[in-house]
Structure 1
């Protein structure tokens, strides 16, 4: 359940521009969680990397759609986490040129990744609640 909520929150932050464009009244809610966006991103990036390794190491436990969903969820955590936590991640390295280059390549996909993350989070939530 926590993974679902985390994915949805990360997705809302990642797709905040798209969400605010469609629902301007959502701006107030999104602004309440934006102050912790960087740290949510850093934690998500590290957790996503760790979870991705766990999925790969235990790949025999997954089948079909569950493998696709696990890879998509962990990839979403990793990439969105990196993009949202970039400002904080830069403070941990001496030369952030490579981080900036990677962010430039990935940033056009941030909104889409945010929406995918929201969808994955809802899917996981429905799975946990045994609705699907």
Structure 2
């Protein structure tokens, strides 16, 4: 849960960077340092969130409903943000593997559908990531 929380916070920060810089101008330096690694951070976040999605449905009854909902929100938002941030890497991989171009077209359609929600998903990813980080520490 700790790694997912960190991935959610960092990827959410990159996804909602314009919004964050408007509110916190001091964050611009951090975002500029992370920007060259945006695609790799997005890919790691996407993989961690996808793996955590499978474990959420494992039936752990010791978790409160609030923690479960926060984890689910973080997973979904981080998957969206991770896909959007890592799209250049995914697109390059698809282009190398797919001769027909169908997968590339579908990935582009999905990116276009998700793009308007990038800032919202980034903020949700950051917020739920902070909650999960604090919950895993405490």
Q: TM-score, normalised by structure 2?
A: 0.84
Report which stretch shifted further, 69-78 or 102-111.
69-78
Does residue 29 of the first structure (1) align with residue 36 of the second (2)? no
Q: How much does 1:3 deviate?
A: 2.8
Structure 1 unaligned segments of length 5 or more: list them: none
Structure 2 unaligned segments of length 5 or more: list them: none
Matches within 5 A, 1:53-68: 53-56=54-57, 58-61=58-61, 62-68=63-69
Does residue 82 of the first structure (1) align with residue 83 of the second (2)? yes
For residue 126 of structure 2, what is the aligned residue in structure 1?
A: 118
Q: Secondary structure at the match of 2:93?
A: coil
Task: Count how many residue pairs are aligned between Structure 1 and Structure 2.
Answer: 129
Superposed CA offset, 1:17-68 (max 9, x none)? 1112223332221010011110111122122222111212x13534422221
Q: Is the 8 A contact 1:59 1:67 kept in 2?
A: no
Q: Secondary structure at the match of 2:124?
A: helix
Q: Secondary structure at the match of 1:91?
A: helix
